[in-house]
């Protein structure tokens, strides 16, 4: 089931890349495995998935210990400063940095481990009260502050668009995100690149890719709906 779902998502990604005249393989697919048992991740791994996304630090760390070490783990959920120390050294990318204080803690813990941690700045594209992230206007000043921290590299932007049945409703937000990414890239800020634009989930990833996403985060589309037992 997971293998078949994965193939369908990959085929749709190729379609979206063709529509937007982009190279095949220019979009990274992160399999969002939050609440999923290790057996599901093992099945996805056997089908070729190497990038997995988790929302909670404890769950990521538990799975990190149980699964192959060539997996690239993505922290995509809200990150509390007191949990950073458990995460550093385990992630390929932290998608959800939305404050200087959080970035400072990532920097401190990265220095202790002697590594450099790649991060994305989370943008609240629709300024929803229920979601984390900074506004479009706050993004550049925050990035300039974080760029001065040691052992942290800003690799791009991330957003969680509004939950909607019609992906066209989110096209404007994806377009604004792409423009913000381009604008910041033009500033040539030291220690900052805009290589990654993480946007698009199961319901809207094709639209996101058409508007410039380089990384989509798909959970339900690969693993299926979460069972009630997973939510308890």
**How much of the chain exceeds pLDDT 70, in percent?**
97
* CB atoms near residue 210 (< 10 Å): 19
| Cβ pair 146, 183 in contact under 8 A | no
When pLDDT is averaged across residues 102-114 and rounded to a whole number, the result is: 98
When pLDDT is averaged across residues 49-53 and rounded to a whole number, the result is: 98
**Does 227 score more than 60 pLDDT?**
no
H or E stretch including 154?
strand 152-159
What confidence tens digit (pLDDT) does each residue in 11-40 have? 999 999 998 888 777 899 999 999 999 999
Give the pLDDT confidence score for residue 20 in this predicted structure.
Answer: 86
What confidence tens digit (pLDDT) does each residue in 137-192 have? 999 999 999 999 999 999 999 999 999 999 999 999 999 999 999 999 999 999 99
Q: What is the CATH number assigned to the segment(s) 29-198?
A: 3.20.20.10
* CB atoms near residue 65 (< 10 Å): 10
Q: How far from each other are the two terminal CA atoms of the chain, in whole angstroms?
A: 24
Domain edges within the chain:
29-198
Give the pLDDT confidence score for residue 136 in this predicted structure.
Answer: 97
Give the pLDDT confidence score for residue 24 in this predicted structure.
Answer: 76
| Cβ pair 147, 139 in contact under 8 A | no
What confidence tens digit (pLDDT) does each residue in 180-212 have? 999 999 999 999 999 999 999 999 999 999 999
Give the pLDDT confidence score for residue 226 in this predicted structure.
Answer: 59
Give the pLDDT confidence score for residue 26 in this predicted structure.
Answer: 87
* CB atoms near residue 137 (< 10 Å): 8
pLDDT band at 228 (very low <50, low <70, confident <90, very high): very low
**Does 48 score more than 70 pLDDT?**
yes
């Amino acid at each position: 089931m997971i293998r078949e779902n994965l193939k369908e998502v990959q085929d749709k990604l190729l379609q979206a890349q063709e529509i937007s005249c982009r190279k095949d393989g220019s979009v990274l697919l992160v399999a969002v495995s939050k609440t999923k048992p290790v057996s599901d991740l093992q099945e996805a791994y056997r089908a070729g998935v190497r990038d997995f996304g988790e929302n909670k630090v404890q769950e990521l760390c538990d799975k990190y210990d149980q699964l192959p070490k060539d997996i690239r783990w993505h922290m995509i959920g809200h990150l509390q400063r007191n949990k950073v120390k458990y995460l550093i050294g385990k992630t390929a990318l932290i998608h959800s940095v939305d404050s200087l204080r959080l970035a400072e803690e990532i920097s401190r813990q990265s220095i202790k481990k002697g590594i450099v941690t790649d991060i994305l700045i989370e943008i609240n594209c629709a300024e929803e009260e229920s979601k984390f992230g900074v506004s479009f206007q706050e993004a550049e000043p925050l990035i300039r502050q974080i760029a001065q921290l040691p052992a942290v590299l800003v690799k791009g932007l991330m957003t969680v668009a509004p939950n909607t049945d019609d992906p066209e409703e989110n096209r404007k937000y994806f377009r604004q995100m792409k423009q913000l990414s381009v604008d910041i890239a033009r500033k040539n800020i030291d220690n900052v690149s805009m290589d990654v634009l993480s946007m698009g989930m199961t319901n809207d990833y094709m639209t996101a890719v058409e508007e410039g996403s380089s990384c989509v985060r798909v959970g339900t589309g690969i693993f299926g709906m979460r069972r009630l037992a997973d939510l308890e």
